[in-house]
Structure formats: structure tokens, C-alpha cells
Structure 1
Amino acid sequence: MKTPRLRFVLSISAAIAATFLPASLHAATPEEQAVLAPVTAMFDGMAKRDAAAIKEPTLPGGTMVLMRDGKPTQMTFEDFATRVGKPGTTKIEERIHDPLIRIDNDLAVVWAPFEFLVDGKVDHCGTDLFNLVRKDGKWLIASVADTGRKDCSVK
């Protein structure tokens, strides 16, 4: 039999837990889905090693900053697409999870942990940061930054 105090503590705990459930447990709004669409399109292009498909969801002139071992490597989307879009025999795939999405009018950000897989095995992981803009009603990736490390836990 629960005491009134225990009931109170349990109800407060349940309310707090519901407030802080990860975003991945809640359905994304249509606007959030629209913001994620170019990110997914870029990842699909990467998996297909298709330079044109990698560039398609990006804003011309956009850049990437990839942090590796504490050192930034900067490149344009064009350079990135050329680099990743080369034919290869290894299968590559980037996956994000639990994205934090913020939208203000025609500006959005996506912050999400990621794993980068090579031939189905995690090669590196970190956090992706996408800055997006809405141009003519369509979301485009304006810039990307990420961290990359090898000490990934296997999921």
C-alpha cells in the first residue's frame, strides 16, 4: 500500500521523466522532418558515392569543418562531394540519432550524435552540427561541422 508521500514522490518523478524524455521518442513535427530531409539526402548521396547527390541539398558556397584529433579540416561542399563521391569498394554510411532541432523562421540547426560506418562497422563517431537555411521554400544545408573520434561504443 502506497503512502501519500510515496505517491507524491512517484508522481513528481513521473512528471520530471516525461519532461526530459529524449526527442527521439517523440514524433518529429512536419517542419522538423523538412529540416532533416536535406541531411538525409546528403547521407544517401554519401552512401551511393554520388557527388551530385551530396551537393544537391547544400547551399552553393557552403563549407564544412571536420574536427579530427583537435585539428580542424575545412573544405567546401564541392571539395567534400568530390572526395566522398569517388568510386570505391568500401560501403560507407553515416547515421545520426536523437537530433536536437531548432527552427526560427528560415534558419535551422540540427545537432546530433553520429556514427560513421565502413563496411558495416563503426569507424568513427562524434557530433554533427548542421546549419540550414530555407531558400524559396526549400531547406538547404549552409554549413556542417563535426567532431570525429575513434573511442565509440558499439550500439
Structure 2
Amino acid sequence: MKNIFLILALAISFDCFSQQAEETDIAAVKSVVNRFFESLEKQDTVLLKELAFMEGQIWTVNNAVSPAIQRMRFFKDDLKSFPSKNSYLETAKTMDVKIHAGMAMAWVPYEFRLNGEFSHCGVDVFTLVKKDEAWKIINLSYTIDKEGCDALSTK
């Protein structure tokens, strides 16, 4: 009988450790995404290099024009546009993180302000991988929307 209780106690403790590790990884992914927004606001290329693989892709789906336009660039391309005379402020409305075996995805409805004025809203989808115990962005896809911004926060 003692052996059954011991086995049960061990099984429960392993599950607790697993949940703690996942919660730690979720917090780390959220931190990377928030620091990415900080790098954009501060136009900090050093921070951007720390957070993303420079060969990673950035995909844009611009729904503010008809027909919608899709474009791709690399993170390293963004280094050329900093510093800028413009000010950028991207604010996450919510953040949903999913993690599996060293890969993570963050779904982030956002609002974007250019020089203090509302520019657009949309959804960022970050793909990250865990390398040397640190999460790094390998891909960012985002939409540019002018309408329906309030509804994005609830999706």
C-alpha cells in the first residue's frame, strides 16, 4: 500500500514540475515579444539582434488596401531602417502563447501608432525556437488593418 502512495506522489510531483516549466517558458516567450516591441519603439538594433535571427522572415498582409498585398522581408532588412525620424509604438492587446518541444507561437492582436497617431491595428504571429535555453524569434507574420480593431482583441 505504501508503494502505491509513493508512486502516486511521484507522478503528481512530475506533473507539477512540468506545469512550472511550461509556465516559465510562456513567461519567457511573452518577455521576448514585449522586448521586441521595445526594440521597435527605441529603434534598438542591438536588442533586435538579441531577440531575432537576422535571417528570419517578416511577412506582412496589408488588408488596408484592396486587394490585400502580401510582402516578405528579413529581420536584417529592418536594421537598415533604424534609426528613423519617426516614432513607433506597438501595443499588444492580448497575447496567447502555445509551446511544444522547443517551438513556440505567440498570437498577439496589436495597435500601432506612428508619431503618436493611430496608424493601424492587426494581429502579430511570432514563431520562436528555443536555442541554448533562450527563446528567439525566427518568423513574424502580421496583418495591417484599419477597421475591426476592437474585435481583434477578443479573437
Is TM more than 0.5 here? yes
SS at match of 2:58: strand
> 1:87 aligned to 2:84?
yes
SS at match of 1:86: coil
Contact preservation (8 Å) 1:116, 1:123: yes
Using the TM superposition, give the Cα deviation of residue 71 of structure 1 relative to its aligned residue in structure 2, in angstroms.
1.1
The residue aligned with 1:97 is 93
Residues 63-82 of structure 1 aligned to structure 2 (within 5 Å): 63-68=57-62, 69=65, 70-82=68-80
**Larger displacement relative to structure 2 (56-65 or 102-111):** 56-65
Aligned residues: percent identity? 25
Amino acid at match of 1:122: F
Amino acid at match of 2:83: K
Distance 1:52 1:73 in 2: 25
**Larger displacement relative to structure 2 (126-135 or 59-68):** 59-68
Distance 1:87 1:71 in 2: 24
SS at match of 1:145: strand
Contact preservation (8 Å) 2:110, 2:122: yes
Q: CA RMSD in A?
A: 2.0
Using the TM superposition, give the Cα deviation of residue 86 of structure 1 relative to its aligned residue in structure 2, in angstroms.
2.3
> 1:59 aligned to 2:47?
no
Q: What is the TM-score of this pair, normalised by structure 1? A: 0.73
Amino acid at match of 1:105: A
Using the TM superposition, give the Cα deviation of residue 149 of structure 1 relative to its aligned residue in structure 2, in angstroms.
1.4
Unaligned runs of 5+ in 2: 1-21
Distance 1:61 1:153 in 2: 30
Using the TM superposition, give the Cα deviation of residue 31 of structure 1 relative to its aligned residue in structure 2, in angstroms.
1.9
Contact preservation (8 Å) 2:51, 2:137: yes
Q: What is the TM-score of this pair, normalised by structure 2? A: 0.73
Contact preservation (8 Å) 1:61, 1:76: yes
Using the TM superposition, give the Cα deviation of residue 121 of structure 1 relative to its aligned residue in structure 2, in angstroms.
2.6
Distance 1:104 1:43 in 2: 24
Using the TM superposition, give the Cα deviation of residue 81 of structure 1 relative to its aligned residue in structure 2, in angstroms.
2.7
Deviations 1:15-51 (A, max 9, x none): xxxxxxxxxxxxx933211011221122111111122
Amino acid at match of 1:110: A
Shift of the 40–127 alpha-carbon distance from structure 1 to 2, 3 Å rule, reads same
**Larger displacement relative to structure 2 (120-129 or 138-147):** 120-129
Aligned length: 126
> 1:48 aligned to 2:48?
no
